[in-house]
Every structure is written in structure tokens, then in C-alpha cells.
Structure 1
Amino acid sequence: MNAALLDKSRIKQSFAAASATYDQAAALQRRSAIDVTQLAETEGMQGSVLDLGCGTGNLAELLLSAECKPDIVIALDIAASMIEAARCKLNRKKGSKPALNYVCADAERLPFATDSLDGVYSNLALQWCDPLEKVLADLRRILKPGSPLIFSTFGPETLHELKSAWAKVDDLPHVNAFLHEQELMSFLQAAGFSACRIQRTLHISRYASVIDLMRELKQIGAHNSHLARPKNLTGKARMQAMSSAYERHRYGLSIPATFEILLVSARA
């Protein structure tokens, strides 16, 4: 992404508001967290590691219970209410190791010293960083040489049905834009990472209606955060036109929504 395409204040507000409803709607996010953890265990975990964009703590919970545990897990999120939700969940399950710390901070302004971390892990959070190439360069800075960076992020096929339905109504961006594999690889290499690999998976979720899909997106805080998004409330007629366009994808009793997940691994 180019600089300043995302509204950071809206991102923070959206995830803060979703802290109470996130877990009940985040089935896809939980599956992705398992994939990140399994890859992290394959690559090896040790020392002090960061869960970047921890949300309600789904990934951190898996890191805490992994067979190959690090010594310290730092759970970081931009929304204080997400940090509190993670704290309530994780403090009930944490044993003596790993140690668990919480940091409320912006992923675009990381408060860590150079060469201070032994691993960075992130589950479906880095797509909210803008520009991502600067964040990746900073992650390279805070990681010790040779340490792993493993994260999942959404690819450009995500919600293409919703995007095409809105395109029948107007030319405004109603769905966030996501990076292609080639762009991600280029940013990783430019930041100084090596051994870069990207695995691509398509998930098809099904919903009874467009309203059900949009309700779930709201529950997990995944609002349209593009700076050029429509600023006024969507009118009933325009919403009906979009829904009618989306209905062309219906098969049987449900409509599909595609989520493309890119699982990324690299070494500092």
C-alpha cells in the first residue's frame, strides 16, 4: 500500500469496540492462529517473542501452550480493551513459563530496542499497518539476526464477492485493499529478511445473507478503514442494490465469502 491510505483512528476505534464480540465471531482467525503456531513450532521458538496485534489473545494462548515454548511472550495491541480482554483470558491459563507481558502500542511505532527479540508472530493483524514496508523494516530492526518473523495476513482475493457487489453501486472503496504475494515478498526482501516463504490458502465461509456477513465483520472489528471510504451512512436503496448484486453468488440457502490467507515466514 502507499502511505496514508488507512484511517488509523478508525482502526483503533473499530477493534476497541469489538473486544466484547470478537471471540464469538472469529472462527477463521482462530484457525489461522493455529497455522501460525504450528509453523512457529516448526521453525523453533526461544527467548523473548512478540505477539503483534494480539487482539483477545488467541495466538498468545497457543504460544503459551506450545510444546516448544519461548521464555517470554509479549502481547501487543493498539486497543486497550483488546489488551484487557487478552489479559482476562490468558491470566487464567498461564503457568510459570513462559512469562507474559502486555503492551498497548501501535505496530507502526514499536517500543522495542534494536536486536532485542527472538521472534515476532502475528495473526491477521499486519494488513492494518500502512505503509507495511516501514513496519517490516522496523520488525527487522527489533529482531535479533537470524530470528524468525511468522505472520498471517489477508490476500487480495479476500471479500472479492462483496467488493464486486459494491462496484455495481458506486466507485468508492467499500472493502479494504490487501497486498499480493509478490508485493509482500518484495517488501520483506527490501527490509533485509531472508529465507522468505509465503503459503496461500483460500477459505470459503457461507452466510444466510449479506447482513449476516456484514454483522460478523463488525463483530471482529473489520470495518472499511480506507481514507476514501464513504463517510456518510449508507442509504437503504444503495444497500439493497448491493445486496441484490451479491445475491447472484447465492447457491442454495447461502452466499459465499472468500478469505485469502497468506502465511508468511522469514528470517531477520
Structure 2
Amino acid sequence: MNMALLDKPRIRQSFAAASATYDQAAALQRRSAIDLMREAEQEGIRGTVLDLGCGTGNLAELLLAARHKPDAVIALDIAASMLEAARCKLNRKDGLQPALHYVCADAERLPFADDSLDGIYSNLALQWCDRLEHVLADLKRMLKPGSPLLFSTFGPKTLQELKSAWAEIDELPHVNAFHGEEELMRFLQAAGFSACRIRQTLHMPRYASVVELMRELKQIGAHNVHLARPKNLTGKAKMQAMYRAYERHRSEGTIPATFEILIVSARA
């Protein structure tokens, strides 16, 4: 799949703006973090680990409270305000023993040395990387041999109802595109990872209206970040036409939205 180039400044701005509203709207992200953590516990957590794209700290909080705790957790995010939200949340927790460090950096320009990390974990963040294959190669470089990489990411079925509704209006990319299982496996193998596994889950929350869905996406910072997206405000007539197209999915008083989550595990 040819992924359109992503607008990195818009990604940073979107998540910075969403830092105050993220937690109240991010039920799916919290559920995904819990699922990811179950896999992490099975794989084994030790040493110094990285929470890549930590957001408000949901996964970092679980890593700090793990049954077999790491020695240190590095919480990293591209948006400084997200890191501050994570700091406020995690500093209120008592009895969290591992050392905790905060780093503001881009996942595509990570400041870590070769063979320096005992594990990398990431919850619904790597889909915002422009060249994921390069990012995975860099993560392999930073991991000690045999150490785990475990991340969740959105799959291509995500928001398929919204994509379908927009496709009836025009041919512009109104919804972000995401890598599928075959591409992810190819990227992992090219980067030199072994024991690669991908597990898919589908979530279909329901909403009272398309406006409610769009509001939630805004609250978690999940804007359209393709460089080829429409640059001007979408006109009212187009928006209303899209709403009508989406309404065809309504049943029993609500509309669905599909979120495909891929949980990926591998060894360096």
C-alpha cells in the first residue's frame, strides 16, 4: 500500500490540543493498553523499557504497576503537553517503584543508543509515523538482542463506515489510511525481527450521531493528517451530504464505527 505522506506538524499540534480532553474520550485506547499489557506480561518485562508515544500515560501506568516490574520506564511523546498530562497523572500514583523518565521526541528521530533498551512498548501511536519501515529498523537498532517489541496500531478497516460515506462525496483522502497485517509483517522481517506475530481485534462502538463520532475523534487528536487532505474547511453542504451517507448504517437508533486494532509482537 502506498501511504500518503503525513503532516508531522499537524500530528504534533493535534495531540497537543487534545491533551486536556484525551482521557475522557479515550476508552478504546485504554482498553487497547490493557490488552497490550496482557501480552507484555506473558512476554516478560525487565530492565529499561520505552513507552513510545505515551500520550497521557495509560500504558506507562500499567508498566509501572506490572507484576514483574521493569527497572525504569521512559515515557516518550511528540507533544509536550501530552507528556505534562502523563507527568501529572503518574506523579499522583503511590507505590510505583520503577524509575520514570520523560522525553519529548519524534518517534521517527529517537535519541537512544544502539542496544540500549530491554523492551519497547507502544499503544496506538506508530500509525502516525510516516515511514514505519524505517522506524521499525531503528527500534531494532536500539533494542538489546532478544528483547521484545510489542505495539498496537490501527488496521485498514478502521473507520471504514466514515471512509465509505466520504467516498460518495468526493475522491479526497478525508480519513487516515493504515497498514495491514501483510505490510507490517514484511516491515518487521525486513528490519530483522524474529518471532513476529500479529493478532487482530475489531471494536464497534456505537454513537448517537456522526457529529458525536467526529467530536470524539477530535478529543483524542485523531485528525486527518495526510498531506493530500483537503486544506480548506469542508463546506456545510458536503458535510451534510456525508452525514446522510453515513446515516445508512444506522440501526436501533445508533450508528457504528469500526476500529480494527492489530497487536504486534516480535523479538529483536
In the other structure, the counterpart of 1:150 is 150
For structure 2, list consecutive stretches of 5 or more residues without a partner in the other structure: none
Matches within 5 A, 1:126-205: 126-205=126-205
Which residue of 2 is the match for residue 99 of structure 1?
Answer: 99
Instruction: Give CA deviations for 1:20-55 in whole Å, capped at 9, x if unaligned.
Output: 000000000000000111100100000000000000
Secondary structure in 2 aligned to 1:221? Answer: coil
Where does the alignment leave 5 or more consecutive residues of structure 1 unmatched? none
How many Å separate the matches in 1 of 2:2 and 2:64?
A: 35
Q: Which amino acid aligns with 2:241?
A: A
- Residue identity in the other structure for 1:87: R
Give 1:73's aligned residue: 73
Kept in 2, the 8 Å contact 1:159–1:259? The answer is yes
Separation (CA, whole Å) in 1 of partners of 2:94 and 2:248: 48
**Letter paired with 1:242:** M
Deviations 1:152-210 (A, max 9, x none): 00000000000000001000000000001000000000000000000000000100000
Shift of 1:95: 3.1
Matches of 2:67 and 2:2, distance apart in 1: 40
SS of equivalent residue, structure 1 residue 150: strand
The one-letter amino acid paired with 1:80 is A
TM-score (norm 1): 0.98
| TM-score normalized by the length of structure 2 | 0.98
Determine the structure 2 residue equivalent to 1:7: 7
Structure 1 CA distance, aligned partners of 2:36 and 2:70?
A: 15
Question: What is the rounded CA distance, in whole Å, between the counterparts of 1:178 and 1:81 in structure 2?
Answer: 25
State whether residues 70 and 98 of structure 1, in contact with CA within 8 Å, keep that contact through their aligned partners in structure 2: yes
- The one-letter code of the counterpart of 1:14 is S
SS in 1 for 2:264: strand
Paired letter, 1:11: I
- Give 1:92 deviation, angstroms: 1.0
CA gap of 1:3–1:243, structure 2 versus 1, over 3 A, is closer
Change (3 A) 1:231 1:119: same
SS state at 2:257 partner: strand
- State the one-letter code of the partner of 1:267: R
SS at match of 1:76: strand
Pairs aligned (count):
268
CA contact (8 A) 1:64 1:94 kept: no
Identity %: 81
The 3 A distance-change label for structure 1 pair 96 and 151 is closer
Note the 1:8-47 alignment, pairs <5 A.
8-47=8-47
SS of equivalent residue, structure 1 residue 69 = coil
